[in-house]
Amino acid sequence: MTDKNTQSNMINIRGLTFRDITPEEALNTAIGALSGDGKKKTPFVVYTPNAEIAQLCVEDEKIRECILSADMLVQDGAGIVLASKILKKPLRYKIAGIDLGEGIVKYAAASGKKVYFLGAAPANSERKAVALIAEEKLAEKYEGFKLCGWHDGYFKLEMTDEIIKDINDCGTDILFVCLGAPRQELWVKENRDKLNVSLVLGLGGSLDGYAGTVKRAPEFFIKINCEWLYRLIKQPSRFKRMLKLPKYIFGALGERLRGK
Ligand code: UDP
């Protein structure tokens, strides 16, 4: 990562480096990347790994390197916070990527910064593209919010240059990349230098959350740190990948016992 290793509040949890900051501080750091007059040479990149992705990083060095190439990682989920406590390097807050993204949308609506959504399902016979429904729902909450452009997330890799041209031609300041992890992070790493934008956020299934096409867990599940359980009940097909969560936690316990 770029500047962050020099910061005193950095905490390394199982190979990924997080800042022990509040959700507001994370939002302000991301907004800070938008403060220059012109576009930066390369965008400020934010990823929001959860414990599943963090475990994938433990298992796959290439993906770990990719995730670590971000300028800021935020701990999206109770799993990473729990691992940090087990390792006696406690992170105080979990920072939900979906909330961070919404904070950015709120800021963009008020400041006129241009937002582009890349990701989620295209239109089908029953509904519009998820990105457009997300735009509509967010505009109901944040007056004046309007995308400068969007593209669904089911494109052939050969179309990447065309999509990047569209992103740049729209004058995008802020790019949400919502292709699922680690696909979105690998895509950003590959294309970062071609993106003439100030801020890139990898936000997984957030567009579905804003659009309401996938319901977020009720407050109760969030409060007891069991958002993952709600997700599992709603999307049982996630079972296999969710096994990474206990693996990650047991890995932290193992590290602790070995006194690592
Ligand atoms: N997605 C996409 N392109 C793909 C695969 C997935 O745009 O090729 C979208 C999918 O429609 C969903 C999001 O990426 O909106 C991923 O959601 P998921 O819950 O799998 O990701 P996570 O938040 O766990 O990373």
| 175 CA → ligand 1 middle, Å | 16
Residue nearest to atom 10 of ligand 1 (CA): 120
Q: Between 160-169 and 183-191, two packed helices, what is the crossing angle to 10 degrees?
A: 70
In this predicted structure, the answer to whether residue 187 has a pLDDT above a threshold of 70 is yes
List CB contacts of 228: < 8 A, sequence separation 6 or more: 77, 78, 79, 242, 245
Share of the chain above pLDDT 90, in %: 82
**3 state SS of 195:** coil
**3 state SS of 131:** helix
Q: What is the mean pLDDT of the chain?
A: 93
**Across-strand partners of 46?**
72, 201
Q: pLDDT of 94-119, one tens digit each?
A: 999 999 999 999 999 999 999 999 99
Question: Is 119 near ligand 1, meaning CB less than 6 Å away?
Answer: yes
Query: What average pLDDT score do residues 175-188 get?
Result: 98
List CB contacts of 204: < 8 A, sequence separation 6 or more: 48, 76, 97, 178, 180, 181, 184
Q: How many CA atoms lie within 13 A of 55 on its CB side?
A: 19
Residue nearest to atom 22 of ligand 1 (CA): 204
The type of residue at 147 is L
Q: What is the DSSP string of 138-164?
A: HHHHSTT--EEEEE-S---GGGHHHHH
Ligand 1: residue of 179, 183, 230 to mutate (most ligand atoms within 8 A of CB) is 179
Question: Is 207 near ligand 1, meaning CB less than 6 Å away?
Answer: yes
What is residue 37's predicted lDDT score, i.e. its pLDDT?
63
4 alpha carbon, distance to own chain's centre: 18
List CB contacts of 97: < 8 A, sequence separation 6 or more: 48, 74, 76, 201, 202, 203, 204, 206
At 9, the pLDDT band (50, 70, 90 cuts) reads confident
Question: Is 96 near ligand 1, meaning CB less than 6 Å away?
Answer: no
At 198, the pLDDT band (50, 70, 90 cuts) reads very high
What is residue 54's predicted lDDT score, i.e. its pLDDT?
98
| 137 CA → ligand 1 middle, Å | 19
Least confident of 37-41, 106-110, 211-215: 37-41
Question: Is 154 near ligand 1, meaning CB less than 6 Å away?
Answer: yes
- Pairwise pLDDT comparison (226 vs 178), residue with the higher score: 178
CA distances 80 to 131, 199, 243, 252, Å, are 28, 24, 14, 10
Alpha-carbon torsion 86, 57, 41, 152, what sign?
Answer: negative
- Pairwise pLDDT comparison (19 vs 216), residue with the higher score: 19
Give this prediction's pTM.
Answer: 0.93
Query: What average pLDDT score do residues 11-36 get?
Result: 95
In this predicted structure, the answer to whether residue 29 has a pLDDT above a threshold of 50 is yes
